[in-house]
Structure 1
Amino acid sequence: MTDQNRDLLTNSHWGAYWVDVADGRVTGLRDFEQDPDPSPIGHGIVDVLDDPLRITRPAVRKSWLEHGPGARGDLRGSDGFVSVSWDEAERLVAAELDRVRAAHGNQAIFAGSYGWASAGRFHHAQSQLKRFLNCIGGFSHSVNTYSYAAAEVVVPHVIGDFLGHLERATSWEVLAESCTLFVAFGGLPLSNGQIGQGGTGAHVQRGGMLAARAKGARFVNISPMRSDALDALDADWLALRPSTDAALMLGLAHVLLTEGLHDRAFLDRYTVGFDRFAAYLRGETDGTPKTADWAAAICEIPADRLRALARDMATSRTMIGISYSLTRQDHGEQPYWAAITLAAMLGQIGLPGGGFGFGYSAMNNNGLERRYLPYAAFPQGQNPVKSYIPVARIADMLENPGGTVDYNGRRLTYPDVKVVWWAGGNPFHHHQDLNRLRRAWARPDTVIVNEWCWNSLARHADIVLPCTTALERSDIAMSRKDPFITVMDRAIAPVGEARDDHAIFRGIAARMGVEEAFTEGRSPEDWVRWLYDVSRQAASRGGVELPGFDDLQKRGWVRVPDPAKRTILMERFRADPDAHPLKTPSGRIEIFSDTVAGFGYDDCPGHPAWLEPLEWLGNAKADAPLHMISTQPKTKLHSQMDHGPVSKATRIKGREPVTMHPVDAAARGLSEGQIVRIFNARGACLAGLRISDVLRPGVIQIATGAWYDPDGDTCLHGNPNTLTPDKGTSKLAQGPIAHSCLVQVEAAPDAPAPRIGTPPPG
């Protein structure tokens, strides 16, 4: 579908790029000229398209091939692989699916496939997998995300919806015009703002922050890391203890309440349950008033600073920003509920520049001014299997078939999974306590993976089906989260015998008699055109005229016009809460939720509360005295292209870097650049040391995304999820709590070299 009269173009979650090709090989990427702040991440793919870690033929784990399903699952990750033909791979997969369906039912097939995959509208790996499995009777699945599971569950109880409010956050343009105080709980780390689901045309986070600052907005960075805000913002830094955000918010709320700074008229008209929450603030329900002094003792921010901040918030046009990271701590539901309540007390929700917003700078599209057009998605069909789990409970599911878990007022039963199939993600990046996951991963009979390189997931599979990258297939990037629609050209032929996911599933579907149901008689080119034409018709009904498909191919991209009216979160609700009620039982903001209270959970009451985390500096011991923050990486999206040059450029002696405060380094006799061992009772990882005062003492920071390279219980490469606890945030959401993690650090002078840079044994 490529138009030969223009340069080749591609798009990704981290940006659009022009593609240079010579002699059938990609020689470089050029930043898209419409992007004012392009990300370097995309350039990392050029050198790894056909490097030694590329999977070029279907491969089967040796023990599984020789002895059949269930053989030596404990060797996943260390066993060798045998290359096979596509014909043999399709036969093995089809036979195993038929065996499991006949003996155990379709609920024994788990399509995890959690992850970002490609930005293409058609070649979206999860959608392709789930459509195929629905054609053969369905599968067990997961719900919610590792990014913000706790918020996904609790926020709808409070304001009726989460994703809708996330996508309609007050825009940076409005913040620049009207906000005078931006209080950022969890900071505004620009590294996260490089990415956007479905494709990114122009990065706006840096420009949005700087514009607001230039117009006079004051920023407050409430984070253990000063580096969570750009130096140019000149932000006030409140270096709280990690996992204590909810306590700090309650202390601010108590000041507003006791000093009469709360907006009672707003609370009466737009909320329910405030008086019950106020009784908790005053200590009438538990004997402990949540004063600024009480909060100061927990979060280690001086009480006078908290009182001053509360007064500033009450007298300014204040935006309360809440990062995704706050949900990834024990009781991660509470900071989001408390932040919404705090904003309600200020009475500025629905006003320009005021209220609250989720995930500013967590993704490029948050706060981006754009139209919301109902673009078509590749149809997955209907899944008749009703079995599901919260996304972060996969190790529990594999260890406890038939066991139960509380989740959002329900009690779920874990399916007895025999086949795990992953396409477009990497659980050995996302999940916590990877040593536990690896043990649980040994239990299923068969693990099937669609992957393009020998990362940690591929190494822990039984059957590996080599797929293409976005540069080896034609597609279109078209997301309501971004105003740019771009063609994604096929720049080179597939490397080796790699196939796109649609071709992989089409081949297996043919063996199982469902090819016509899977393809509907369309080729991939037909599907891409169909998706665009349906989306174009929907856009036209919304008042936006897009070029025809052939015209788009000729130009390569188009930008959808901005909306006529600026975006202000919950503006219509504020204007008339009766005409535009929230989707809560009361139609109002539920500061106290009878629904949540009715669940009777001891770890999630019916209002915002402080609940002591499983691990935090308030209960640190000598064997684990440091709090580890595992942030999103700056040089890759999660673990994607960890083996590429952009990611490798930041490593220290081949390891992921870890940052430690000078005081903590001196206490351990550690020096800049040496290899250290980070450890606790769950495991260990090796990392290269950086010493800096960009974080508070007692805290270390290491990025996620290093490919898991286990040697016993130690990751030689620097994956911090060997250390993080695998526990749910609460019975309400069961989200991950990676940020509530205590560790120790010591020198590792004789550390073995990482092994992940070589293919697995044959």
Structure 2
Amino acid sequence: MSIPHSSHWGAFGAVATADGVRITPHPDDPAPSALLANVPVAATPTARVLRPHVRRGWWEDGPGPDDRRGRDEFLPVAWDELLDRVAAEYRRVLGDHGPRAVFAGSYGWASAGRFHHAQSQLHRFSHLLGGAVRSSWTYSHGVGEVLLPHVVGNQEPLLSPTSWTSVEAHTDLVIALGGLPAKNSEVASGGITRHEVAGRLRAARARGAEFVLVSPLRDDLAAELGAQWLDVVPGTDTALLLAMCHVLLTDGTYDREFLDRCTEGSAEFLASLDGRTPEWAAPLTGIPAATIRDLARRAVRGRTMVTVSWSVARTRFGEQPLWAAVALAAMIGQIGLPGGGFGHGYASTGGVGKRAGTYPLPTFPQFADPLRVRIPVARIADALLHPGEPYEVDGRHEVYPHLRLVHWAGGNPFHHHQDLQRLQRAFRAAETVVVHEPFWTATARHADVVFASTTTLEREDLGAARYDDRLIAMGRVHAPLGQARDDYSTLSGLAERLGIGPSFTEGRSAREWVEHLYEQWRTGPAARAGITAPPYARFVADGEFRLPAEPAEKVLLASFRADPGRFPLRTPSGRVELHSRTVAGFGYDDCPGHPVWLAPDEVPDEEFPLHLVANNPATRLHSQLDHGATSQAGKVAGREPVRVHPQDAADRGLRDGQVVVLRSRRGSCLGGLVVSDAVRRGVVQMSTGAWFDPVAGAEAGVTCGHGNVNVLTRDVGSSRLAQACTGQHAAVQVSAFEGVPPRVRAFDQPGT
């Protein structure tokens, strides 16, 4: 019998057989993700942490900064013995230094389940101990999370933009900066039952919508959409947008009435366009001036949607292209009209542009955080390496806390973070690193304590997402492998030893919590929203519950456009701020008060002559299940693929399929070469998420032998405003690897 289950890349049924777990996509999914084929490997011992382990140096010598972290021997230990030791370390750190010395921010997409959400579990635990330092914002779209409230008053363009139904029905022209990549739309936080983005785009095209792709990668938009491809130089989107604004200004075709009625600071912004002509932008962007001028004029002829992918803003000065896109949409004058205006992140996940329920979903309560100390998520290495040092973010002057105990559950910073050699040094600066992991990821290998964790297949849970229309009764597919325990069990054991056990568990088992959360939701938020959900037993027997259908249409800022006085934005002016006096008042030269051109501060040169684009992978979610079937099928010569333009390959004597070395100012890695004219000349594309393999790298004389692109990227903030991730671009060189490539060891058990 198939057991219902869910993942961030789709709902499915699973059956445990003698030959392994068999996966069947949800029957209502019109386009199931190929990532489902990665799931069965989670039920095998490959790369699994099968029992708790400790690093020998920490176990024998005690806590403290240690350069052996990441290369030391691991010892298997008994659960009770390890829980006792970690509880004692918590008592030491809290007693000597207080909760500001503990980092329990975590970060990750460990499970689509609502109860076994690792961050919620860890935060509840830490809040009962007086709090801990946590992280703010995301690696994915940290720029938008900070900037958009200053410009439009909130994060609605991120969380609930104009719906796909509106775009499908009304948009004439989609200008897609960074594209609308189908691979990204296959995933959504919390799960996705129906993959519909590709079908929505096809329907818009069939109705007559036109698409313009602004990206150095041609396949950032499906070929079937017949898009015009503007193969922009990486990092120059802002120059293109400002030049388009200049055309509308000099042509006199911009919507002056909309600017006067609905924006603040338009005079300052328009004045700043002086000299920002298409002729100025052409040599920067690589796009001919005539093409820029034509695109600007097309944008005012019909209903136009300007969309910026999360990746475009995930760069140094990434605030600028996003703000400039809002400014262009304002000059076109269609913000608040069906199918018009701007968006941030369409197709960056499958949820963006879908329905968002107005009622809460079942959630494991975390209690209030007594400490309320946050650091920007992408600045974790700075905090570990520079305790007590000041920094600026979003107008505030802050100081990095001295983090001594790092407790990480549900995430893999050795995927998300940049400059991994620097992150290694940061992890070695901590006194104790505790990690919950099902797999021997690089994060586990750089820890002192590795609690063996279950995967979602070994647990019961509630699968749900604010953008989806199903609540899934996630059943347990197979028993835990080895001695693995879920995070709730591990934290319950620590809580009992630290005197907060009854408060943490409230006397419930994990199964009882799942039922409690469902019933609490069914009789509370669901009932108040007019939703009649069945009792828990019936829900489990049915396998799922269908939530209310998506609203017919959602138009971003429609009420504001209709009456700005009655429906003001939550900006100081109540309007769209093309120039923000607040941001200008911060005095940041790396993020002034309105969108401007700031030239990238790392560009190709003689030593590193190629632009690297480090985007999300097509064969997995982030680094999850990199050893799964789909991910492994995408490897080239056993390593992460590296795409290079045919002329760039010929200039270096490189051939398709060979192992190559990528180098930057930070580090180096091996990759498998793919020669492709879908990549702009002068650009190298390599996806994130290959498991960091410094062991194989050492054998090859490089930083990583498997192809983790984040050994090449920079660990610097977008600006002092957002301090967001800038991992999208770097300057690199590519050359042939000489000799016999080392065997990839990333999935081996430690010490083998």
TM normalised by structure 1 equals 0.96
Q: Report the equivalent of 2:409.
A: 423
Using the alignment, how far apart are the partners of 1:440 and 1:614 within structure 2? Answer: 24
102, 106, 116: which one aligns with 1:123: 116
- List structure 1 segments (4+ residues) > 6 angstroms apart after TM superposition: none
Amino acid at match of 1:205: V
Show structure 1 runs of 5+ residues with no match. Answer: 1-5, 283-288
- 1:75 alignment partner, SS class: coil
- Answer yes or no: is the 8 Å Cα contact 1:370–1:483 preserved in 2: no
- 2:92 alignment partner, SS class: helix
- Answer yes or no: is the 8 Å Cα contact 1:614–1:740 preserved in 2: no
Q: Report the equivalent of 1:17.
A: 12
Using the alignment, how far apart are the partners of 1:564 and 1:689 within structure 2? Answer: 45
* Alignment pair present for 1:103 and 2:96: yes
* Alignment pair present for 1:558 and 2:523: no
* Alignment pair present for 1:203 and 2:195: yes
Q: Report the equivalent of 1:227.
A: 219
Q: Report the equivalent of 2:742.
A: 752
Q: Report the equivalent of 1:478.
A: 464
Amino acid at match of 1:344: A
- Answer yes or no: is the 8 Å Cα contact 2:56–2:75 preserved in 1: yes
Shift of 1:739: 2.0
Using the alignment, how far apart are the partners of 1:565 and 1:112 within structure 2? Answer: 38
Q: Report the equivalent of 2:602.
A: 615
Shift of 1:552: 1.3
* Alignment pair present for 1:577 and 2:602: no
CA deviations on 1:112-144 (whole Å, 9 max, x unpaired) are 311111010000011101111111111011101
Using the alignment, how far apart are the partners of 1:241 and 1:341 within structure 2? Answer: 21
Between 751-760 and 121-130, the greater mean CA deviation after superposition: 751-760
CA deviations on 1:230-263 (whole Å, 9 max, x unpaired) are 0100100000100111111000000011101110
C-alpha change, 1:563 and 1:194, in structure 2 (3 Å) is: closer
CA deviations on 1:709-728 (whole Å, 9 max, x unpaired) are 11355110001100101111
C-alpha change, 1:729 and 1:215, in structure 2 (3 Å) is: same
- Answer yes or no: is the 8 Å Cα contact 2:215–2:229 preserved in 1: yes
* Alignment pair present for 1:135 and 2:128: yes
- 2:429 alignment partner, SS class: coil
- 2:472 alignment partner, SS class: strand
Correspondence 1:332-347 to 2 at 5 A? 332-347=318-333
Shift of 1:26: 4.4
Q: Report the equivalent of 1:367.
A: 353
- Answer yes or no: is the 8 Å Cα contact 1:227–1:694 preserved in 2: yes
- 2:149 alignment partner, SS class: helix
Q: Report the equivalent of 1:3.
A: none
C-alpha change, 1:728 and 1:564, in structure 2 (3 Å) is: closer
Using the alignment, how far apart are the partners of 1:355 and 1:250 within structure 2? Answer: 16
* Alignment pair present for 1:655 and 2:639: yes
Using the alignment, how far apart are the partners of 2:206 and 2:736 within structure 1? Answer: 44
Shift of 1:597: 0.3
Q: Report the equivalent of 1:683.
A: 667
Using the alignment, how far apart are the partners of 2:581 and 2:121 within structure 1? Answer: 40
Shift of 1:695: 1.1
Using the alignment, how far apart are the partners of 2:252 and 2:729 within structure 1? Answer: 34
- Answer yes or no: is the 8 Å Cα contact 1:172–1:212 preserved in 2: no
- 1:566 alignment partner, SS class: coil
Amino acid at match of 2:703: T
- 1:714 alignment partner, SS class: coil
Show structure 2 runs of 5+ residues with no match. Answer: none
* Alignment pair present for 1:490 and 2:476: yes
Q: Report the equivalent of 1:186.
A: 178
- Answer yes or no: is the 8 Å Cα contact 1:37–1:204 preserved in 2: yes
Shift of 1:564: 4.5
- Answer yes or no: is the 8 Å Cα contact 2:160–2:356 preserved in 1: no
- 1:741 alignment partner, SS class: strand
Using the alignment, how far apart are the partners of 1:644 and 1:79 within structure 2? Answer: 27
- 1:447 alignment partner, SS class: strand
Q: Report the equivalent of 1:455.
A: 441
Using the alignment, how far apart are the partners of 1:19 and 1:26 within structure 2? Answer: 10
- Answer yes or no: is the 8 Å Cα contact 1:168–1:568 preserved in 2: no
Shift of 1:530: 2.3
168, 190, 206: which one aligns with 2:160: 168
Using the alignment, how far apart are the partners of 2:535 and 2:343 within structure 1? Answer: 36
Q: Report the equivalent of 1:270.
A: 262
Using the alignment, how far apart are the partners of 1:520 and 1:51 within structure 2? Answer: 34
Shift of 1:497: 0.8
- 1:496 alignment partner, SS class: coil
Using the alignment, how far apart are the partners of 2:532 and 2:177 within structure 1? Answer: 40
Using the alignment, how far apart are the partners of 1:48 and 1:426 within structure 2? Answer: 16
Q: Report the equivalent of 1:468.
A: 454
Q: Report the equivalent of 2:39.
A: 45
* Alignment pair present for 1:65 and 2:67: no
Q: Report the equivalent of 2:76.
A: 83
Shift of 1:504: 0.5
Identity of aligned residues (%): 48
Between 556-565 and 152-161, the greater mean CA deviation after superposition: 556-565
Using the alignment, how far apart are the partners of 1:565 and 1:39 within structure 2? Answer: 25
Using the alignment, how far apart are the partners of 1:104 and 1:371 within structure 2? Answer: 42
Using the alignment, how far apart are the partners of 1:339 and 1:316 within structure 2? Answer: 17
Between 372-381 and 647-656, the greater mean CA deviation after superposition: 372-381
Using the alignment, how far apart are the partners of 1:605 and 1:533 within structure 2? Answer: 50
Report the count of equivalent residues.
745
- Answer yes or no: is the 8 Å Cα contact 2:355–2:551 preserved in 1: no
CA deviations on 1:657-700 (whole Å, 9 max, x unpaired) are 10000010000000000000000221001000000100110001
Amino acid at match of 2:88: A
Amino acid at match of 1:578: G
Amino acid at match of 1:655: R
- Answer yes or no: is the 8 Å Cα contact 1:172–1:369 preserved in 2: no
Shift of 1:370: 4.8
- Answer yes or no: is the 8 Å Cα contact 2:644–2:675 preserved in 1: yes
Q: Report the equivalent of 1:323.
A: 309
Shift of 1:546: 2.5
CA deviations on 1:174-212 (whole Å, 9 max, x unpaired) are 112111101101111111111001111111111111111
- 2:729 alignment partner, SS class: coil
Shift of 1:525: 2.2
- 2:191 alignment partner, SS class: coil
* Alignment pair present for 1:670 and 2:684: no
Using the alignment, how far apart are the partners of 1:258 and 1:547 within structure 2? Answer: 61
Q: Report the equivalent of 2:428.
A: 442
Shift of 1:565: 4.0
- Answer yes or no: is the 8 Å Cα contact 2:319–2:718 preserved in 1: yes
Between 534-543 and 686-695, the greater mean CA deviation after superposition: 534-543
Using the alignment, how far apart are the partners of 1:413 and 1:360 within structure 2? Answer: 35
CA deviations on 1:14-43 (whole Å, 9 max, x unpaired) are 0011011235x7431001001111112122
- Answer yes or no: is the 8 Å Cα contact 2:55–2:449 preserved in 1: yes
Shift of 1:214: 0.9
Shift of 1:746: 0.5
- Answer yes or no: is the 8 Å Cα contact 1:339–1:356 preserved in 2: yes
Q: Report the equivalent of 2:590.
A: 603
C-alpha change, 1:540 and 1:165, in structure 2 (3 Å) is: farther
Using the alignment, how far apart are the partners of 2:52 and 2:569 within structure 1? Answer: 51
Q: Report the equivalent of 1:285.
A: none
Amino acid at match of 2:504: F
* Alignment pair present for 1:722 and 2:722: no
- Answer yes or no: is the 8 Å Cα contact 1:78–1:760 preserved in 2: no
Amino acid at match of 1:328: R
Using the alignment, how far apart are the partners of 2:204 and 2:359 within structure 1? Answer: 27
Considering only aligned residues, what root-mean-square deviation do their CA atoms show, in Å? 1.3
Using the alignment, how far apart are the partners of 1:34 and 1:565 within structure 2? Answer: 20
- 1:11 alignment partner, SS class: strand
- 1:703 alignment partner, SS class: coil
Q: Report the equivalent of 1:509.
A: 495
- Answer yes or no: is the 8 Å Cα contact 2:179–2:214 preserved in 1: yes
